[in-house]
Structure 1
Amino acid sequence: MKRFVYIITDRNRKNLHVGMCTDLLKTIKFYGDMPTLFFDSSQQLNRLVYFEEINTEEQAMARFQQVSTYTRMQKEKMIRPVNPDWIDLTAGLNFESGIRVRPTNYGRPSIPSARRAVTF
């Protein structure tokens, strides 16, 4: 079973949290559902900036322990070559897995479901 070692951060890139999981999308959803579990609300971890897919549990645990001991500068040196703008990688994962996220309607009028035929 594949394992993922990931680094997640808040919107200000103040905290870098290293984790390991088997289902990356479910884990990211968990962080979104429980925003104040690890930190207060201003430091909500919601931006996946780095992840590695590893085939075996032993290799994943060794890599997780290694990355967990890194300093902030070492973690940034890992992130910058693959994600220089520190964008959230969750959107790409959603696209790859075939999950369609429906955009929310922010105050725009909805389109009526039954349209009238226009006659001239």
Structure 2
Amino acid sequence: MGFYVYLLANRRQGTFYVGVTNSLARRVYEHRERIGSDFTRRYGVDQLVYYEVYDAPDEAIRREKRLKRWPRAWKIKTIEAFNPDWRDLYEDLNR
């Protein structure tokens, strides 16, 4: 079982959400269905554009907290290095 740090966006270089979970597919589905996050529901942030996998929950939580403090430009650079086309990676999770 892995732990995931992920970034969602509502569009290319739009509004971001940084989260952590032990089930990436389930959690992104919840965001897409507007379940469990007032922020993502309010701003329509439901496209998975970046994620990292960790073995331990404490590692993932530390990384999530760091990413949340990053300047916006750093987040954009990280997303674009991982996912240059800003594709919604959610569909890839279910293959």
1:12 and 1:75 map into 2 onto residues whose CA distance is 12
Runs (4+) of structure 1 moved beyond 6 Å?
A: none
Structure 2: 5+ residue stretches without partners: none
1:79 and 1:12 map into 2 onto residues whose CA distance is 10
1:12 and 1:49 map into 2 onto residues whose CA distance is 9
1:4 and 1:64 map into 2 onto residues whose CA distance is 9
Task: Work out which structure has the larger RCO, using CA pairs closer than 8 Å and 6 or more positions apart in sequence.
Answer: 2
Q: Is the 8 A contact 2:2 2:55 kept in 1?
A: yes
Greater per-residue helix proportion: 2
Q: Is the 8 A contact 2:12 2:86 kept in 1?
A: no
Greater per-residue strand proportion: 2
Aligned sequence identity (%): 28
Question: Which residue of structure 2 aligns with residue 37 of structure 1?
Answer: 38
Query: Between Structure 1 and Structure 2, whose CA radius of gyration is higher?
Result: 1
Equivalent residues, number: 93
1:78 and 1:60 map into 2 onto residues whose CA distance is 16
Instruction: Kindly state the Cα deviation for residue 11 of structure 1 after the two structures are TM-superposed.
Output: 3.0
Question: Which residue of structure 2 aligns with residue 21 of structure 1?
Answer: 21
Structure 1: 5+ residue stretches without partners: 96-120
Question: Which residue of structure 2 aligns with residue 93 of structure 1?
Answer: 93
**Cα displacement string for residues 78-112 of structure 1 (whole angstroms, at most 9, x for unaligned residues):** 111110110000111111xxxxxxxxxxxxxxxxx
Tell me, what secondary structure is at the counterpart of 1:77? helix
1:58 and 1:29 map into 2 onto residues whose CA distance is 23
Instruction: With the length of structure 1 as denominator, give the TM-score of the two structures.
Output: 0.71
1:27 and 1:63 map into 2 onto residues whose CA distance is 18
